[in-house]
C-alpha cells in the first residue's frame, strides 16, 4: 500500500487526504500551513515589494478590490542560504473592512524545480476561517517549507523534499505558481469567489 509521509510526522493513505492539494505531483509534496498576520502596507511608491527586491522576484495580480502579491526577497540565493518567500493579500476597496473566508490559509505556494522536473505540490487544511481585512493593512504569510513523500518515491526525491521542508533548497531553478483562494459573502448578500494568482522564479546556485 502506498503511503504519504508528511514532515510533521503524520502519515496518510493516498486517496484519503482530508486536504486540498495544489500544484503538480511529481512525485508528491504537501504542506499543512500556518498562521497569517496583518502587516502595515507598503508605501504607494513601492506597491510590489520592499526596497531592494528585484522586479524579477516579485509579481502581483488584481481581482475586484483585492491585490495579491508574491515575493522572493532575492532572485538568486546561494546553496545553504535561507530562501525568503512570502505572499500578501491587500483589500483596496472603500469599506472600512471586509471579511474573507478561506481554508486554514488563503495562500498557496505550489512549485516546480525545472532542472529535475520535480513538482512540489501544496496541501492545506480545510476548516472555514474568517479573516478581516482593512484598506492599507495587507495580510502577509511567509513560506515556511513544505514536504511530503510517498513510500514508493525514489530516494533522490525523498532527500530533495526533506531539504525543502527545512528551507534548505538544493541548487536549481524554482518556479512558484502561487495563488490566494477565498470568498466574500456579506450578510444577506451573494457569495463571490476569488482566486488571484502570480508566478515568480528564483534560482539557487552552488558554491
| Residue 133 domain flag | yes
The per-residue pLDDT for 161 is 93
Q: Summarize pLDDT for 9-61 with one digit per residue, the tens.
A: 333 322 333 344 565 445 433 333 333 333 333 333 334 433 333 444 899 99
| Residue 164 domain flag | yes
Percent of the chain with pLDDT over 90: 59
Using alpha carbons, select from 185, 92, 186, 176 the residue that is nearest to residue 139: 92
The per-residue pLDDT for 207 is 67
The per-residue pLDDT for 199 is 96
| Residue 87 domain flag | yes
The per-residue pLDDT for 22 is 61
| Residue 207 domain flag | no
Q: pTM (2 decimals)?
A: 0.76
| Residue 81 domain flag | yes
| Residue 100 domain flag | yes
CB 175 within 8 A of CB 114: yes
Domain range enclosing 161: 3-46+55-202
Per-residue burial over 103-112, b if 16 or more Cβ lie within 10 Å, else e, is bbbbbbbbbb
| Residue 172 domain flag | yes
Q: How far, in Å, CA of 77 to CA of 158, rounded?
A: 22
Count how many domains the chain has: 1
Q: Residue 155's domain is classified under what CATH number? A: 2.60.40.1470
Amino acid at each position: 500500500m502506498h503511503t504519504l509521509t508528511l514532515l510533521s510526522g503524520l502519515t496518510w493513505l493516498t486517496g484519503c487526504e482530508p486536504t486540498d492539494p495544489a500544484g503538480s505531483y511529481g512525485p508528491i509534496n504537501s504542506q499543512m500551513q500556518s498562521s497569517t498576520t496583518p502587516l502595515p502596507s507598503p508605501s504607494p511608491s513601492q506597491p510590489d515589494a520592499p526596497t531592494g527586491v528585484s522586479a524579477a522576484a516579485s509579481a502581483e495580480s488584481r481581482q475586484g478590490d483585492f491585490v495579491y502579491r508574491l515575493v522572493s526577497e532575492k532572485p538568486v540565493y546561494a546553496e545553504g542560504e535561507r530562501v525568503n518567500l512570502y505572499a500578501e493579500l491587500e483589500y483596496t476597496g472603500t469599506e472600512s473592512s471586509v471579511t474573507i473566508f478561506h481554508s486554514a490559509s488563503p495562500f498557496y505556494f505550489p512549485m516546480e524545480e525545472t532542472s529535475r522536473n520535480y513538482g512540489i505540490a501544496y496541501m492545506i487544511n480545510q476548516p472555514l476561517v474568517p479573516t478581516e481585512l482593512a484598506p492599507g493593512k495587507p495580510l502577509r504569510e511567509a513560506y515556511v517549507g513544505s514536504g511530503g513523500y510517498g513510500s514508493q518515491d525514489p530516494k533522490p526525491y525523498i532527500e530533495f523534499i526533506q531539504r525543502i521542508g527545512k528551507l534548505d533548497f538544493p541548487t536549481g531553478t524554482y518556479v512558484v505558481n502561487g495563488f490566494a483562494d477565498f470568498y466574500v459573502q456579506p450578510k444577506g448578500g451573494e457569495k463571490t469567489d476569488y482566486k488571484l494568482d502570480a508566478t515568480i522564479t528564483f534560482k539557487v546556485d552552488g558554491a
